[in-house]
Chains A and B, each alone.
Chain A
Amino acid sequence: MNCYLETKNLNKRYGSFEAVKNMNVHIYKGDIYGLIGPNGAGKTTLMKMIIGFAGPTSGEIVLNSEKKGEGVIGNLIESPGIYGHLTAFENMMLKAKAQGVYNKDELLDILEFVGLSNVPKKKAGKFSLGMKQRLGIALALIGDPEILILDEPTNGLDPQGIIEVRELIHKLRAERNMTIMISSHILSELQKVANVFGIISNGELVMEVTSDELMEKYNGDSGALEEFYLDVVRGGKKVC
């Protein structure tokens, strides 16, 4: 089976600092790919390069998409890109117009999908963190992208917000068969949503492992990902 998204010897250098080193990531259609690593490991840089916000110093990103042009990749990087003085719908409308896909009903459907249809007049700046993240995901869904890149979408959320985002990701996979790359520091949470994991440390992809392999290795332990991560990153042990 061909990879849907693949990076080949991807490198990113800022001056003398190597943020990403020879990275080879493999994502298949319909995967939820969990990206794990300590702060500064290169997760966000990798995601920015995949989206196109940052250019690689060397290497290649191959996207085997059926769609062409902008709108193949939806993103939520670091924080949602929203105008605080506008409503959720107005933010959505601006993005849809920019992509040439403005359709009021479709936008309202997306807002319904992410659970923001009940706040039509509220300015996005007044939203809770969870609502802002959901609006960020709603914006990422405009234009029906094939892949979503979500960088720590549960960052700063309370437990309820985390559950909401998790349910949303499940819904995206179940209802839209969407391919998703997601990074998070909450390993137990990531284990609940992703089916493949990539572990990054010091700009290098240390290992890729499927959830099935993990479950097999740790006898179905709910803390398998955490144990695995500690084994790999701290112990430098290659378990798979």
Chain B
Amino acid sequence: MLNLIKMNISRLFRTKALYTTTIIEFILFFLITMVGGEGSVVEMAGEFLGSGLVLMLVGIFATVYSDEERKSGFLKNLGSSKGRKRLIFVSKIPVIFLYNVILLIAGTAATYIGMMGRGAAIGNLASFAGFLLFETLIGTAFGTAFLAIYEVARGNVMPIILTIIAAGNLHGTLLSLAEVKIAQMIPALAPAMEAQILSGNLIVSRAQEISVTIPFDHFAVLVVAIVGTVVYAVLGMTVFEKRDTF
């Protein structure tokens, strides 16, 4: 397992998608903060990093990273026993975690540089550190979901389309509308549905709650991040193991 993680980390820094997506994010955040934006540096960075763009990049990266391994055929070099196949899948999750960290650091740096010379305050760093931690965890869950979705689809078009839809939480909006409709149709269910609302516990719904300035339910975000990562890891491992490699 550790060997596969080491290989994946070496590979991460030799993957073009890492550099292209990080540069795109950096330029975008830098230009936006240069043109305008109010508040402290951490407030601005928090606003950008929580906007859904980072999640979208993570989903696309997870898809491209898996696809590159399969399309190039390099997967053939990694082993083929059942236990090994599970590890091959799981060993990509630390890469997604690391990629999240890189994106968050790059985004923060771009915001800071973009606001330099405007006399903006740095802001509450402790609150920002918490924000980054939870963003990383929820981003890892989201990326793991797309590692698994890629294994189901075994192509990159559908997962990338789904990433764009999911990062904007369109599926959450749909689910929320369905929940309202059900509650209207069956009023007896309404209190239970309000207490355990499903659309509010999606990975992206919880990601949207994470904020530097507004208090959020840390425990609920943590639970969704952990449960999401575990559920999608198990799904991905199972699909990867059960299906023929080639």
Contact = CB atoms under 8 A, between A and B. Distances in A.
Interface in B9-42: 10-11, 14, 16
A60 interface: no
A94 B10 contact: yes
Contact of B11 (A81, A84, A94): A94
B130 interface: no
Query: Which secondary structure characterizes the binding site on chain B?
Result: helix
Nearest to A85: B16
Contacts of A52: 79-81, 245
A94 to B, nearest CB: 5
Contacts of A79: 73
Interface string A114-136: 00000000000000000000000
* Of listed A53, A86, A98, residue having the most chain B CB within 10 A: A98
B72 A97 contact: no
A51 B72 contact: no
B76 A75 contact: yes
A37 interface: no
A111 interface: no
A144 to B, nearest CB: 15
A51 B80 contact: yes
A70 B16 contact: no
B10 A48 contact: no
Interface in B89-112: none
A208 B80 CA distance: 27
B3 interface: yes
B80 A90 contact: no
Interface in A86-104: 86, 90-91, 93-95, 97-100
Contact of B7 (A53, A70, A77, A98): A98
Contact of B73 (A81, A97, A99, A100): A81
B77 A139 contact: yes
Contacts, number: 77
B76 A97 contact: no
A93 B14 CA distance: 12
B74 interface: yes
Interface in A38-87: 48, 51-55, 69-71, 75, 77-86
B98 to A, nearest CB: 16
B7 A97 contact: yes
B72 A84 contact: yes
A53 B84 contact: no
B16 to A, nearest CB: 7
Interface string B34-66: 000000000000000000000000000000000
Interface of A: 48, 51-55, 69-71, 75, 77-86, 90-91, 93-95, 97-100, 139, 142
30 contacts: A48-B245, A52-B79, A52-B81, A53-B76, A53-B244, A53-B245, A54-B244, A55-B244, A70-B79, A70-B81, A78-B73, A79-B73, A81-B72, A81-B74, A81-B75, A81-B76, A82-B73, A83-B14, A85-B14, A90-B14, A94-B74, A95-B7, A95-B74, A98-B6, A98-B7, A98-B77, A98-B78, A99-B3, A99-B79, A100-B3
